[in-house]
Structure formats: structure tokens, C-alpha cells
Amino acid sequence: MERDDRGLRAGGDVVLRSLINRLRGVRTARARDAQQLALDLTAPPHTAAELLARLQTLGLRNVRTAVLTRNRSVMVSLVDGTLRVHRAYLAAPERVHRAIVRFLMSARRADRLAARRVLLAFPVDDGDRRAPRAPERTHPDDERMVATLAEWHARYNAERFHGALQRVTVRISRRMRARLGHYAPAQQGRAAEIALSRRHLRRHGFAEALETLLHEMVHQWQDEQGHPLGHDRRFREKARDVGIGGRARRVVD
Ligand SMILES: [Zn+2]
């Protein structure tokens, strides 16, 4: 009996509420507006500033501005208070936004690496419909130089990085023109690699190329430590640490 009673009361309550709502048509419309506004606050950010604000509510600190990029090789980077982030992350779920914050803020390497796995697992469509270029292979004439550079990588790793770095593919690029070298993190099934420009080797000589190799090894160190790639304070400190002169004589990527 008692249960039935309660059921009845509950039912009556529902009817009553819908009746009142109908009588207060204007007020419910206003309530709907408020509800929509609340929904908008959780809608995906559309601009760099909105994304930055979202990340700040999730705990991001010490970032002044954010810039959206389409550059797949750097998904998230932080240089001198400017966050560069791939525009695909605008539409990412909160879980991924939280991972960006952890990647940038966490003091623990394991946390940063875990966060980076989340970031890299998020599918990115950069709108580039051209067929991806086939990976470049080292020209047979460059094989000996590649072997020499691999030896230098091992030597520098032992002498200057306390053996902390993993062995990585070092190759010589005949495509690379503007840049002297690059470090590419592992992605889409391809292993991490360091590439040096053949033109750089020929024009500037072996000693300078070795300096470029060291520069790229600092990027490798950043990557393996789970830090964002970039020429930030951490990069500069490590570069000094391993004996690269204060500033590069040439622009190195
Ligand atoms: Zn660099």
C-alpha cells in the first residue's frame, strides 16, 4: 500500500511539474537558453586561445600564448612560453587535452611518456591529401659516411650522454636543402631517426656536421625523456651540458 502511495505521489508530481512548466512558458525558454550556454562551455575549442583557456582549466601553467600548427612532425611543443599544438587536437576529447597538460607539466618521466602515447594515438588528419613521400633511403655512395656517423653517435652517446640514448638510425639526406639536419621521433610505424643533409656535409665540412649530429642527439634525448621537442630552456641547458657552443653558428632544425 505504502509503495503504491509513493508511486502515485511521484506520478502526480511529474504531471504537476509539466503543467507548471507549460504555464511558465517564458521562464522555461530562458532555462533552455541557460542550458544551451552551459553546453557551449563544454563544446570543443575553435581557436588557439580557446584551446589554451581549456588547457589552463585543466592545470596548464606558464604558457602565455598558443599557436595552432599543421606540422605533423611536431604535435605539441613549448618554446619560451608559446605552446605550438597541432590543430587536430582542437576536436580531441578531454582525455587527450588532459594528456597535453600532463605531457607539458608532469615532473615524472613515466607520466610524460604515458601522456605522449595518448597524444600520438589520437588520429590526426592534417588535410594533406598528397600521397606521403616514400621514405628516403641512403644513397649507396653515402653508406660509408653513414657508418662513420653511426660510430660518432655511439661515441658521443657514451662520452657525453652517459650512454642514456638508444641506438638510432642515422642517415644522410640528399633531399634536405634548407635544413642541416633533423631528428624525427618514431611515428606511424617508422623508427626514430637522425638525418644530416649531404649538402651540409659537403659545404661546411665534417667537424660542423658532427656538431649538427650532437644537436640532433639533444633532440633525441628530449624525445626519449618525454619532453616536447624544441629549442627551449631545457634544450639549451642540455646542449651546454654535452658541449655544444652557446649558440649555433647556423640555423639547425
Ligand atoms: Zn634543433
Q: Is the pLDDT of residue 72 over 50?
A: yes
Cα 215 to ligand 1 centre (Å)? 6
pLDDT digits (tens, 9 = 90+) for 113-164: 999 888 888 887 655 545 566 778 889 999 999 999 999 999 999 999 999 9
Q: Say what the pLDDT of residue 167 is.
A: 96
Cα 103 to ligand 1 centre (Å)? 20
Q: Is the pLDDT of residue 16 over 60?
A: no
Q: Say what the pLDDT of residue 81 is.
A: 84
Cα 252 to ligand 1 centre (Å)? 5
Q: Say what the pLDDT of residue 243 is.
A: 93
Cα 234 to ligand 1 centre (Å)? 12
Q: Say what the pLDDT of residue 23 is.
A: 46
Q: Say what the pLDDT of residue 87 is.
A: 87
| One-letter amino acid for residue 185 of the chain | P
d(CA 44, CA 132): 29
Place of cell 657514451: 158
Cα 217 to ligand 1 centre (Å)? 9
Higher pLDDT, residue 251 or 12 = 251
Q: Is the pLDDT of residue 1 over 50?
A: no
pLDDT band at residue 14 under the 50/70/90 scheme = very low
Instruction: Give the global pTM.
Output: 0.65
C-alpha dist (Å) from residue 237 to 114, 124, 135, 217: 24, 32, 32, 13
Q: Structurally, what CATH architecture does the domain formed by 140-241 represent?
A: 2-Layer Sandwich (3.30)
Cα 235 to ligand 1 centre (Å)? 9
Cα 20 to ligand 1 centre (Å)? 66
Mean pLDDT of the chain: 81
Closest residue by Cα to residue 137 from 167, 168, 175? 175
Task: State the CB neighbour count (10 A cutoff) for residue 186.
Answer: 13
Cα 55 to ligand 1 centre (Å)? 26
Cα 182 to ligand 1 centre (Å)? 7
Q: Say what the pLDDT of residue 120 is.
A: 83
d(CA 106, CA 89): 19
Cα 181 to ligand 1 centre (Å)? 8
Output phi, psi for 91, to 5 deg: -90, 5
Cα 153 to ligand 1 centre (Å)? 16
